[in-house]
Structure 1
Amino acid sequence: MAGTWLRSFRNALPTVRLAHGDDEVRDWFAFVVVPRYEAWIAEADGVLAGLLVLEGEELEQLYLEPSWWGKGLGDRFVALAKQRRPAGLGLWTFQVNGPAQRFYERHGFVAVERTDGMRNEEQEPDVRYVWRPGE
């Protein structure tokens, strides 16, 4: 999972500083994400194509191998997240990530807050999105 996350992050957000090194990210997935959160993966031909991580009502992580971008896998993950959290979801994405913002807006998420990034580890301006059924 961590390898997919790292490749996707670096390809989608080349201007955003990673707050942690690769080994720390791998440890975070192994010792925090997998045992504590609801994590889903998509596998194709024995390779991890993408991951979805939910924590409570938060869509914490949705990352795809770059070769899987634009093939509908992200749509399927969002549908799964909505199915698993039918009362609604929230998420954060970076303001520089225009493709992610368009993706979430296409799926009914609405921007409700923008910050200067001082509350996230990357110190990167971000935007809060929420989805509520029926809105």
Structure 2
Amino acid sequence: MTDEVVLRRAVPADAWAAADVYLRSFDAALPTVTRGHTDDEVRAYIRDVVVPFHETWVAQDRDGAIVGLMVLQGELLSQLYLDPKRRGCGIGARFVALAKERSPGGLSLWTFQVNKPAHRFYERHGFTAVEFTDGSGNEERDPDVRYVWRP
């Protein structure tokens, strides 16, 4: 249930658990996409760059486990990952609502073209696909799509 989950700003102690959510989520949702970085590189990036320098939010369940991660960089919703076991529970919708509150002028994000569940999710929340690429501009070299939400 979503009422058992609290959304809060990440603190340095959350970095490892947030990185694990990212890794599990990416691997579950995108089995055909090769990540551009090793697990250790992802953990170090989240610890050394994401949490200290970006607006990073986590979803924490009543047992204290981190079950979601969202990163905002101005109008860019740069990351939204959920523990695969917690998808479909409303946490992603709460993150998107929070992102819209934090960036009331609009948001943009990128997702991979193969991630059809993400497309459906963002479209349900008012985002529109505005650009499709061949993937040459991302680290994974996998075709992606940019979505935009405007109030």
Amino acid across the alignment from 2:133: T
State the superposition RMSD in angstroms: 0.4
Q: Which runs of 4+ in 1 moved over 4 A?
A: none
Counterpart of 1:17 in structure 2: which amino acid?
T
Deviation of the 1:56 alpha carbon: 1.3
Specify which of 96, 109, 112 is matched with residue 94 of structure 1: 112
**Structure 2: tracts of 5 or more residues without a match:** 1-17
Secondary structure in 2 aligned to 1:111? Answer: strand
Q: Cα deviations across residues 62-111 of structure 1 (Å, max 9, x unaligned)? A: 00001100000000000000000000000000000000000000000000
Residue pairs, 1:34-113, within 5 angstroms: 34-44=51-61, 45-113=63-131
Counterpart residue identity of residue 19, structure 2: A
Instruction: Find the residue that maps to 2:134 and give its secondary structure.
Output: coil
Structure 1 partner of 2:3: none
Correspondence for 1:9:
26
Identity percentage of aligned residues: 65
Q: Report Cα offsets for 1:31-67 as digits up to 9, x if no partner.
A: 1101110001011111101011001110000000011
**TM-score of the aligned structures, taking structure 2 as reference length:** 0.87
| CA displacement 1:12-47 (0-9 Å, x = unmatched) | 000000100000000000111011100010111111
Residues paired across the two proteins, number: 133
Relative to the length of structure 1, the TM-score reads: 0.98
- Please, which runs of 5 or more residues in structure 1 have no aligned partner? none
1:123 is matched with 141
Q: In the alignment, what sits opposite 1:19?
A: 36
CA distance in 1, matches of 2:119, 2:45: 25
